[in-house]
A and B are shown apart, each in its own frame.
Chain A
Amino acid sequence: MSLLAVEGLTVRDQAGRALVDDVSFAVAAGDRAGLIGESGSGKSLTALAVTGLLPPGLSATGDIRLDGVDMIRAPEKQRTAARGPVAAIVFQEPLTALDPLMTAGRQIAGPLRRLHGLRGAALRSAIGEALAEVRLTDAERIARSYPHELSGGQRQRVAIAMALACRPRLLIADEPTTALDVTVQAEILDLLDRLVATRGTALLFITHDLPVAARVTRDTHVLRDGRIVESGPIADVIARPEHPYTRTLVDSARRFDAALERTGRD
């Protein structure tokens, strides 16, 4: 059975307009799936629906099973229980995902205390380990820092540490590197790559950036205007795009790659 199975997911606003339209995909344990799309494609709403976090005013129909839990119809309590241990989410802007009034250490302590019942010295050392795992050196200082005292890359590492502290079987990452500098982006992608590989965590990676998706995902679904227009192994989708929209995406990315390649030849 898939860890996450989405069947015919449709998300509507109050006017009844379908923002996500009949979307189906599955992520098996240890899998690495990508949702690729540009603004308005419905990729982030899909991630929110999957975790049962759709904002008020939006309603989902269809079927979402997250480790067997019905994320549309199950009572709030069951859906909350699935969030964290089953699926944790990392967002684009870590500054909005982190509480500005709480030190990084306390934020990571939250899930560790709640889910693993850690207290005192054991909790402190677990926080240190969580920070070391996302390659934050100087873990003690970082743990005492508030989000505004950290750089963008450090904040995203803290957000990843928080998400992974729950030991989720599925990590959902929604444009986790879009707000970061390219050298920091490369480091965070390496980090995600390594963490999901060593722990066997499944990954659902959401991005508008095809080359970034190619770097970390295996199977991919291309979304446009709320619908999946093409699915398949990402290498195939890039090498032989079938839908005209996918072809435009691939061509756009190739265009800038080619410009860079040319500088090497001139």
Chain B
Amino acid sequence: MTEPIISADRVGYAYRGGAAVLTDVSLAVPPGRNVALVGESGAGKTTLLRLLLGLTRPTEGAIRFEGGLLTRGRLRDYRRAVQAVFQDPYSSLDPRHRIGRIVAEPLRGLGLGAEPAKVAAALEAVGLPTDTAGRYPHEFSGGQRQRIAIARAIVGNPRLLLADEPVSALDLTTRVRIVDLLGSLCADRGLTILLVSHDLGVVAELCEHTAVLEHGRLVEQGPTSQVLGAPSHPYTRRLLESVPRLPA
């Protein structure tokens, strides 16, 4: 089997003197296989994401990056390979900076050379006009801001995109367009996505593998067709039943 880009190996996390937030979580993201992490508020999704991003260290188990432990010394390589997009496109872009500078930020931070051509290519890849670079975040709608955040994430050609509820704050029609964009980035650039989402329709559309987190434990994981098509855990079934759908 191909080496996963990142994996959590029997990971646990507890605040000092507090109850466990995550217990015995094992999850791997192999290249080319989009993975969804599904769960509701308080399930531990954000904590797991922070561990996977190297922002917090697990209190049990280990996070691995390309087979080796994710140590402080490897964080630079890690940031080149793994970038993130967050839920709220209004708070994730610095309002004082022009888009060109915002998108170039990972290039500067990683010493990759912040050439305007790379920024222009990233903006083009997310379907924004080149004059976007000279404008400010407030001039853009929610969907456009999320495109800008995605451009920033892909500008350094990462292997993996950690996307934390990237379409939850968007209107339905915009949501479809951003999901299409993420799908085409995977197809065209060999990008892999770890998607944190509570929206099972979006998960079914984008991810081959689904893991369901409840109260800090993975209650079920496997191919999306199996987990969402024939769920074995009652919690997964409850999630599926709760999804509002159009009358046939």
Contacts and interface: CB of A to CB of B under 8 A. Distances in A.
Contacts of B131: none
Given A255-B205, A264-B230, A266-B229, A182 B243 contact: yes
Given A38-B171, A39-B171, A263 B242 contact: no
Contacts of B244: 185-186, 189, 209, 211-212, 214-215
Given A182-B198, A259-B201, A210 B172 contact: yes
Contacts of A211: 243-246
Contacts of B175: 252
B225 interface: yes
Interface string B232-248: 00000011111111110
A208 interface: yes
B142 interface: yes
Interface in A176-232: 181-186, 189, 208-212, 214-215
A39 B230 CA distance: 35
Q: Which 6 A-B pairs give the minimum distances between C-beta atoms?
A: A256-B201, A266-B225, A38-B171, A186-B242, A211-B244, A259-B204
B204 A256 contact: yes
B246 A260 contact: no
A250 B202 CA distance: 16
Contacts of A184: 40
Is the contact region of chain B dominated by helix, strand, or loop, or is it mixed?
helix
A254 to B, nearest CB: 6
A74 interface: no
Nearest to A254: B246
B172 A265 contact: no
Given A215-B244, A263-B204, A266-B229, 5 more contacts: A182-B200, A182-B242, A189-B244, A249-B172, A260-B204
A182 B239 contact: yes
A183 B229 contact: no
A186 B204 contact: no
A263 B224 contact: yes
Nearest to B229: A263
Contacts, number: 97
Contacts of B198: 181-182
Contacts of B243: 182, 211, 260
Interface of A: 38-39, 151-152, 181-186, 189, 208-212, 214-215, 235, 238-239, 248-250, 252-257, 259-260, 262-266
B200 A260 contact: yes
- SS class of chain A's interface: helix, strand, loop or mixed? helix
A225 B173 CA distance: 14
Interface of B: 40-41, 141-142, 171-176, 198-202, 204-205, 224-225, 227-230, 238-247
Given A252-B172, A252-B176, A256-B201, A238 B246 contact: yes
Most buried by A among B174, B230, B247: B247
A38 B173 contact: yes
B173 A249 contact: yes
18 contacts: A151-B41, A182-B40, A182-B239, A183-B238, A185-B242, A208-B171, A209-B172, A212-B244, A214-B244, A238-B246, A255-B201, A256-B205, A263-B224, A263-B228, A264-B228, A264-B229, A265-B229, A266-B229
Contacts of A253: 172, 246
A238 B247 contact: yes
Contact of A208 (B172, B225, B229): B172
Nearest to B40: A181
A257 B201 contact: yes
A162 to B, nearest CB: 22
A257 B173 contact: no
Contacts of A235: 247
Contacts of B174: 38
A8 B228 CA distance: 46
Nearest to A256: B201
Contacts of A259: 201-202, 204-205
